Structure 1
């Protein structure tokens, strides 16, 4: 059996990153089964994020090293998913990076993987932290302020990517930075205006709904569906990704379900942000809109729980100009 480093490097060079590695795959599988259920999904997101930097070698290497160290702490030390982290957890990670175990400190740069193509293996000499020596003797490991700010900046960029992909709701790295001693510096602090969610006002929603209702009355064959989808989004506070077709998912009528005990109607979402499933209560007004929409489609008014009839049947985009 080949020797492995104390910390498994997760991401290979850009030309190999999407191909996967047997050792890494086995490691991530074990983590998923034992401690962090979404480890494989996080690996996919991180790989996609890193691929966007593959044309800038320095950025790619810096991002790869930081995410590898971060995942090591999350998976092996804290046994916690990054999307579950709090500001206190981030502080613990920073403290870990400032005082890493001696076994994880190397004193020269080496490749994270060795070998060619399918024979590539984690380099047993690789370490996630690089220390310094003076006259041949190791110097106590230190993390400079600039290095720390770079570390947080990279993690913040990764969290922003996860938020964009609707996999995460908070940028814990930026939150930690805002409350740290660096937060007093405006160049590092997130402005309060950036924290406000871009949402419609009631007046804006009224314009949208009245406009689509007018269009639906004038041309129901095209805009009846749009009217219902907008009502669904507005009434259930859904994300666009939860009602839009994508690879492996398309919303169906059967997602409207009635609780047999309470009689309350719910809209079931099989995979929401963070990979979790959830159900949203359907209001009376939305239920009436659903009945009207089904009547327009010449379907029976009541929804059959296992109905596979698609909510989205066309790809016509409404023109609100």
Structure 2
């Protein structure tokens, strides 16, 4: 291997928990060629990522794995200095590298890290540490790796992952300081943004097109009842994709809808940080829940202790994965975009073509803010540990007033 041919270092979380290096011949060969201290770095990172996957989530594992993997490959193949001797200038050099990596380290599409064949995991030669992909609405576009430029959010995530990794090394008495925090303070690539913040949401009209399209699809073909239920539930209950999906220690059930002694309905969600929260369920949502349950052949509303999977596979057993749910959401987005484009034009429908599942949570929360719902109540439903998070992410009312007051300024 030379510096222009990086190799993947870590598989999925589940595969890492069952990891046997002998089953990964190319990775084993790569590590065998490295000095002993580099092999030890790989062990440090493996233990750290197992900790993240075990104590956070598989999603957090994947996000941190991407950054730690890049960092180790830079150490192994470019810098060749141990992590425990790196200082602030070294971390800043690494960030410079991330801003402008070698073209051969950049891929134009997502590739699996390892390919299973005859009981062995071979390293995928198509995989690269950095990825530049076309926008969702223009998948046919051919991307030019030379135009790769990480966003501020990507760089922020890199600092978060590296700082977390160093804190772990400090806790394990491997390092005696965290150079990442000092480097972040002086990083020339991080620009403080005090400008107008926007979030990924739909307008009132775009949301109505999406919901109406989901209803029409379900009316025409009952197989789309799941799509309708997912769309309405994610927007109305402000759910993340993972909060509707089956995970290792949690499967959403019908009984997670429950009624208290005052006839208020709630939904129990398992969210970020392995925290369970109860979300208020509005009365206007109940007819959609009843409709979905009727399609499933169930009573109108759930009963306490009902151990029925909320989103059941049509074929097979168990609940739906995040990827499957995402596909069902996308089907409705695509249909709604075509409908709105034909009736209102491309510009009006553009956001539906760009949108992904997380737009539903953001749309629901933004609309609640605009109708004047107390911030603290909404923050509880969203699962934010601090209402200031809700305020900074979703409040756009004042921005709209500011835009309105400035719209009629005169040039002369």
TM-score (ref. length: structure 2): 0.40
Corresponding residue number in structure 1 for 2:302: 303
The counterpart of 1:13, out of the listed 27, 33, 41, is 41
State the Cα distance separating 1:258 from its structure 2 match: 0.8
Distance 1:202 1:302 in 2: 29
Q: Secondary structure at the match of 2:41?
A: coil
Provide the residue aligned with 1:293 in structure 2: 292
- Which of the two has greater helix per residue? 2
Counterpart mapping for 1:24-39 below 5 A: none
Structure 1 residue 52, shift from structure 2 partner:
4.9
- List 4+ stretches of structure 1 deviating above 4 A: 42-47, 62-66, 192-195
Superposed CA deviations along residues 18-63 of structure 1, whole A, max 9, x for unmatched, are: 2579xx98xx9xxxxxxxxx99439984963423543222499358
In structure 2, runs of 5+ residues without a counterpart are 1-38, 84-90, 92-158, 314-323, 336-412
Say if 1:18 and 1:47, in contact at 8 Å, map to a contact too: no
User: Tell me, which stretches of 5 or more residues in structure 1 are unaligned?
Assistant: 1-10, 29-37, 76-121, 131-142, 153-176
2:217 aligned residue (215, 222, 229): 215
Partner of 1:196: 198
Where does residue 254 of structure 1 map in the other structure? 255
CA separation of 1:215 and 1:312: change in aligned 2, threshold 3 A: same
Aligned to 1:233: 234
The answer (yes or no) to whether the contact 1:17–1:47 under 8 Å persists in 2 is no
Query: Greater relative contact order (Cα 8 A, min sep 6): structure 1 or 2?
Result: 2
Contact 1:251 1:311 in 2 (8 A): yes
> Which whole-Å CA distance do the structure 2 matches of 1:65 and 1:235 have between them?
36
Aligned equivalents of 1:295 and 1:67: distance in 2?
Answer: 47
Note if contact 2:166-2:175 (Cα within 8 Å) is conserved in structure 1. no
Closer, same or farther: CA 254–244 of 1 in aligned 2, 3 Å: same
Alignment partner for residue 69 of structure 2, among 42, 45, 51? 51
Q: CA deviation at 1:194?
A: 8.1
CA contact (8 A) 1:232 1:238 kept: yes
Deviations 1:185-235 (A, max 9, x none): 7x5324346843212222221111011111001111x10111111111111
Return the alpha-carbon distance in structure 1 between the equivalents of residues 202 and 241 of structure 2.
Answer: 14
